[in-house]
Amino acid sequence: MVQQLLEIKGLSKWYEQDKNRYNVLKSLDFNVEKGSFVVITGKSGSGKTTLLNILGFLDKFNEGSYIFNGKDVTKMNEVEKCSFRNSHIGFIFQQFYLIESLTIAQNVELPLLYHGGYSKSQRVEMVKQSLKDVELEEKLNNYPHELSGGQQQRVSIARALVTKAELILADEPTGALDWKTGLKIVDLLVKLNNQNKTIVMVTHDNDLKRYATHCVYLKDGVFSEEDNI
């Protein structure tokens, strides 16, 4: 039986400006199956980042329902959302957002510190394992500026994985990289997907749709869903 990780119904998001309502997402119905690799495409301004931020509880929506693994997101308060996000969701962005003054290991350790409850030795072990997963364990003590763009993106993936998040949200993860380096990042996401992580990736690159189990095209705040294979 197909198990849904995310179930979204009638989700709308709008902004009010000078008493006018600007609709970004219009009554979306959207499910994400456990273990799937969903690719979201759409023109600039179509609402892809807005949707991803809503999926990751970084942004609020105005109408509709959102169930995450059986849990009603609209019934969680901010503290619950924050702790749920810390343990279940990992983010990857176009600009890697690594902290320049921290080493690679310290950057990857950050979500564990926010999460709390891990001893120093547990954290060291988890950081090592995550960096091993992205084949960067030898860069533990380097600083972000000492790494290439592709390596920095792999560190940001290690950071997203370190809390054992089951959902990875990636907003244009290849956008700042050349084509070949970008493909390596997508290969890594595919590998994680094969290890049962659910992935939702936004991209401008139609070629990357071939890696998806499901594709969604967002246009004027609504989308059509199609099986890609």
d(CA 200, CA 32): 8
Check if the beta carbon of residue 225 is closer than 8 Å to that of residue 38.
no
Of 49, 107, 151, 156, which one interacts with ligand ATP (CB under 6 A)? 49
Told to check if 45 binds ligand ATP by CB under 6 A, we report yes
Taking the least distance from each CB to ligand ATP, the nearer of 25 and 108 is 25
d(CA 23, CA 50): 11
- Binding-site size, Mg ion (CB under 5 A): 1
**Please, what sign has the CA dihedral across residues 46, 59, 88, 125?**
positive
Taking the least distance from each CB to ligand ATP, the nearer of 24 and 155 is 24
Q: Which of ligand ATP, Mg ion, none is residue 50 near (CB under 5 to 8 Å by kind)?
A: ligand ATP
- Per-position DSSP letters for 173-217, written without gaps between them: TTTTS-HHHHHHHHHHHHHHHHTT-EEEEE-S-GGGGGG-SEEEE
Of 10, 15, 99, 138, which one interacts with ligand ATP (CB under 6 A)? 15
What is the CB neighbour count within 10 angstroms for residue 197? 20
Of 5, 8, 11, 24, which one interacts with ligand ATP (CB under 6 A)? 24
Told to check if 50 binds ligand ATP by CB under 6 A, we report yes
Q: Which residues bind ligand ATP (CB under 6 A)?
A: 15, 24, 42, 44-50
